RNA sequence: GCCACCGUAGCUCAGUCGGUAGAGCGGCUGACUUGUAAUCAGCAGGUCGGGGGUCCAAUUCCCUCCGGUGGCUCCA
């Protein structure tokens, strides 16, 4: 079974490391503080004879279970060498990924208790001090050993729960639920692929998804070997497209009433509010060191916005309150083999809005608006309802109280949707939807999503003041109206490939085309006059360029076509004298005659309501750098 | 993370059963002055991913490291 989480799930690495020395004696003395608040300690030094010394590193995400396992390992060694005395010596240098001090102290204390309870004479060397020590190693075969406890990925609580909570899938169509096996998928082949992908896992495909070749050949983006995998470089054309997408989403969300904020990209592992969130949703984070302090790179805007909301004063009169940020970037250290082109990245740009609502009615109302907003945003990218599959997931309790609401969601898209129902609440949400894009190699990727979060206001101490003047926790909607921006580009390119397979020229929406109009002078002598046309078009806010290179006309046409330029104008004597243009139109795949004025009018009409940015390269092709 | 494959010119790739390399595209130069998807000719580009080993000789064989890609697992 697969679970789509808003925040991806990370694993705890359980890896306490222990170095054993069977000693004649060990003697240590405490020098000075290594931490601000070390474990209290009153003696200056100590000497222990005939002891098994266990140097222990507590690692990132270790917990008390590891301490119990560790104690068993130590006891096991102690019995083999017949040692009665055990020294637990905190020793950071065994591990590259240490736990925070508070965790370490806790785990070591647990370790000591366990060993005491087993009847050993345990000495625990204090944590958080610089110490000198002298040790005499006995030198027999078992006197020096090292162990790594666990070393396997342990399922976090949320995932363990997954296996015990009942969940099932259905298809919902015209207010009727169907079992997956009973539903007739004819006419809904993509949904079938999505359901297969969801439930029975993936098919092995030996094919690189086609968007990868387009991302390179259109000079949009490419892999950057100089960075970590999944961190892309964007070329001028790609950066232009990406910026336009970002502007459009931001404009749309702000028109919807969200307030744009900006929050840090990294957060303290030791921060109490974040800690419980991380514990519950451990992810594969990037870790950043600032001196000795460890920070994780955000994997969504939740942290930053929740921390703002926690410190803000909201009253019932102001709700719903919407905070928005376009995260550039969010980071998830996805597994190496998972990273393909623009489908999944380790650093990605994610529009992320959180809506704080009073109660379930207000939450539902906003949910519905955001559902429609997501449909409309995707449409602006040329992704229609037929291009993606809808999944709606909820708890049984939510459905029992809100069945009509669920039916409405289905009615709006007017096509069968995948339903997942949980017997009881699972993670933090009671209802979510996603729009999933199924690509040319039959893989699904989530785009838009909205969730109703009933847990995190409590966890982050986010409150609003109600009519009676009392503090209450709001319900929080998580919304990404488009999904990751890179993933939007991926979906557009994959869709273009599908069109190509159906005999339609692949293209991008006009407003996202790096070049909207390409002017091709018939020969060198037409360049000067062509520039006049260029200026006329350019001043209307249309991205136009000119292929002034000394190559053949055919070649220029061919190149404009390979870059998916929507409109190609060849300027020769005829055009210059008559001012009637011959326009090669990619969308209709026809060549039309039209005068300049009407041509511009037609383009401006199509570009209305979309953001504009100028060309991000020279308007003269002869002056352009090649990037692919 | 595991498994597999790959790393040769700016790009895509060929090749050397071990004797330091080729093509197409792109670039540069010149000719051509062209009416809707590749005009012709010439020229310049490479420590064959890094390190180690075997060998008279390694880009080629072996080991190792690094990087990339695909699959599995997982997820936005």
Nearest to residue A14, comparing CAs of A60, A79, A72, A73?
Answer: A60
Residue A45 contacts strand B, CB under 7 A: no
Q: How far apart are CA A354 and CA A477, in angstroms?
A: 5
Please give residues of chain A from 498 to 517 whose alpha-adjacent beta carbon (CB) lies under 7 Å from any atom of strand B.
Answer: 505
User: From residue A499, how far is each of A96, A190, A389, A503 by CA, in Å?
Assistant: 50, 15, 18, 6
Given the structure tokens 């892309």, which residue do they identify? Answer: A232
Question: What is the per-residue pLDDT for A207?
Answer: 65
ipTM: 0.85
Q: CB < 7 Å to strand B — which of 272-301 in chain A?
A: none
Q: Which nucleotide is nearest to A347 (CA to C1')?
A: B76
Q: Which residue is nearest to nucleotide B76 (CA to C1')?
A: A446
- What's the Cα-to-Cα distance from A403 to each of A79, A182, A397, A412, rounded to whole Å? 62, 22, 10, 15
Token pair for residue A470?
């009392």
pLDDT at A10: 26
A620 CB burial (10 A radius; 0-12, 13-18, 19+): middle
A485 Cβ nearer than 7 Å to chain B strand: no
- Show the tokens assigned to A264: 């840090």
CB A138 within 8 A of CB A23: yes
Q: Of A423, A434, A416, which is closest to residue A398 (Cα–Cα)?
A: A423
Residue A586 neighbours by CB distance under 10 Å: 20
Judge whether residue A156 contacts strand B, using its CB and a 7 Å cut-off. no
Q: What is the pLDDT of residue A12?
A: 30
Q: Which two tokens stand for residue A18?
A: 């222990």
CB atoms within 10 A of CB A541: 14
Check: CB of residue A409 under 8 Å from CB of residue A371: yes
Is the C-beta atom of A548 closer than 7 angstroms to strand B?
no
Neighbours of A514 (CB within 10 A): 25
Q: From its phi and psi, is residue A341 left (phi > 0), alpha (psi between -120 and 50) or beta? A: left
Cα distance between residue A61 and residue A269, in whole Å: 10
Phi-psi region of A213 (alpha: psi -120 to 50; beta: other; left: phi over 0): alpha
Report the predicted TM-score, pTM, of the whole model to 2 decimal places.
Answer: 0.78
Is the minimum distance from the CB of A522 to strand B below 7 Å?
yes
Block means of pLDDT (10 residues each) for chain A, 628 residues, are: 30 56 81 70 78 78 70 78 82 66 78 84 81 73 60 42 71 93 90 83 62 89 82 91 97 96 89 69 71 84 92 94 94 79 90 96 96 97 95 94 95 95 84 93 90 91 94 96 94 92 93 96 90 94 94 92 95 88 94 94 96 95 87
- Angle between helix axes A360-380 and A396-413 (nearest 10 degrees) is 30
| A207: nt with nearest C1' to CA | B70
Residue A339 Cβ under 7 A from any strand B atom = yes
d(CA A109, CA A104) in angstroms, rounded, equals 8
Decide: helix, strand or coil at residue A245.
helix
Q: What share of chain A is helix, strand, coil (3-state, %, to 5)?
A: 35, 30, 35
Question: A530 preceded by cis ω (within 30°)?
Answer: no
Q: DSSP string of A22-56?
A: EEEEEEEEEEEESSSSPPP---SEEEEEEEEEEEE
Q: Which residues contact A240 (CB under 8 A, 6 or more apart)?
A: A514, A613, A615, A616
A445 with A198: CB under 8 angstroms? no
Nucleotide nearest to A436 (CA to C1'): B76
Q: Are A91 and A56 in contact (CB under 8 A)?
A: yes
Closest listed residue to residue A173, CA positions, set A464, A426, A389: A389
Residue with tokens 């070329």: A235
The nucleotide lying nearest A573 (C-alpha to C1') is B35
Q: How far is the CA of A628 from the C1' of B19 (A)?
A: 36
Q: List bases, strand B, within 7 Å of protein CB.
A: 1-3, 11, 26-27, 31-39, 67-76
Q: How far is the CA of A228 from the C1' of B57 (A)?
A: 39
């Amino acid at each position: 079974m697969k679970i789509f989480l808003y925040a991806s799930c990370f694993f705890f690495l359980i890896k306490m490391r222990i170095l054993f020395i069977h000693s004649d004696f060990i003697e240590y003395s405490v020098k000075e503080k290594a931490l601000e608040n070390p474990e209290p300690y009153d003696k200056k030094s100590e000497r222990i004879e005939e002891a098994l010394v266990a140097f222990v590193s507590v690692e990132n995400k270790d917990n008390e279970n590891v301490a119990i396992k560790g104690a068993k390992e130590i006891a096991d060694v102690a019995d083999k060498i017949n040692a009665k005395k055990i020294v637990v010596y905190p020793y950071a240098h065994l591990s590259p990924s240490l736990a925070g001090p508070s965790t370490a102290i806790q785990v070591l204390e647990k370790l000591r208790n366990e060993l005491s309870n087993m009847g050993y004479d345990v000495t625990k060397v204090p944590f958080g001090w610089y110490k000198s020590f002298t040790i005499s190693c006995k030198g027999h075969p078992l006197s020096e050993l090292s162990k790594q406890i666990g070393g396997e990925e342990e399922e976090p609580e949320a995932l363990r729960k997954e296996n015990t909570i009942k969940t099932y899938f259905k298809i919902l169509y015209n207010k009727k639920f169907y079992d997956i096996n009973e539903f007739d998928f004819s006419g809904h082949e993509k949904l079938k692929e999505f359901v297969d992908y969801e439930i029975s896992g993936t098919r092995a495909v030996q094919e690189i998804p086609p968007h990868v070749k387009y991302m390179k050949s259109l000079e949009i983006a490419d892999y950057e070997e100089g960075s970590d995998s999944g961190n892309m470089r964007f070329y001028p054309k790609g950066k232009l497209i990406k910026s336009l997408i970002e502007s459009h989403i931001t404009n749309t969300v702000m028109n919807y009433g969200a307030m744009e904020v900006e929050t840090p990209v990294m957060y303290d592992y030791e921060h109490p509010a974040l800690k419980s969130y991380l514990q519950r949703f451990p992810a594969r984070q990037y870790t950043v060191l600032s001196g000795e302090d460890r920070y994780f790179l955000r994997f969504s805007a939740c942290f930053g916005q929740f921390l703002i909301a926690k410190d803000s004063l909201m009253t019932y009169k102001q709700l719903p309150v919407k905070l928005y940020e376009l995260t550039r970037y969010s980071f998830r250290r996805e597994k190496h083999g998972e990273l393909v082109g623009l489908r999944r990245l380790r650093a990605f740009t994610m529009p992320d809005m959180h809506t704080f609502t009073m109660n379930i009615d207000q939450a539902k109302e906003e949910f519905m608006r955001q559902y429609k907003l997501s449909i409309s945003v995707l449409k602006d990218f040329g992704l229609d309802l037929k291009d993606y599959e809808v999944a709606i997931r909820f708890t049984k309790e939510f459905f029992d109280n809100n069945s009509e609401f669920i039916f409405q969601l289905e009615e709006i898209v007017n096509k069968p949707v995948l339903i997942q129902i949980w017997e009881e609440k699972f993670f933090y949400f009671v209802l979510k939807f996603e729009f999933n894009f199924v690509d040319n190699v039959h893989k699904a990727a989530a785009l838009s999503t909205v969730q109703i979060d009933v847990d995190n206001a409590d966890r982050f101490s986010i409150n609003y003041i109600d009519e009676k003047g009392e503090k209450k926790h709001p319900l929080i909607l998580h919304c990404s109206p488009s999904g990751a921006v890179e993933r939007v580009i991926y979906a557009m390119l994959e869709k273009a490939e599908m069109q190509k397979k159906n005999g339609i020229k692949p293209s991008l929406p006009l407003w996202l085309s790096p070049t909207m109009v390409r002017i091709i002078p018939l020969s060198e002598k037409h360049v000067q006059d062509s520039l006049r046309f260029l200026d006329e078009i350019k001043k209307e806010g249309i991205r136009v360029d000119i292929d002034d290179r000394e190559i053949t006309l055919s070649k220029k046409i061919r190149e404009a076509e390979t870059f998916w330029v929507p409109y190609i104008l060849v300027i020769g004597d005829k055009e210059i004298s008559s001012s009637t243009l011959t326009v090669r139109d990619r969308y209709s795949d026809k060549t039309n005659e039209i005068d300049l004025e009407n041509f511009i009018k037609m383009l401006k009409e199509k570009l209305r309501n979309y953001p504009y940015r100028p060309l991000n390269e020279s308007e003269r092709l002869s002056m352009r750098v090649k990037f692919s």
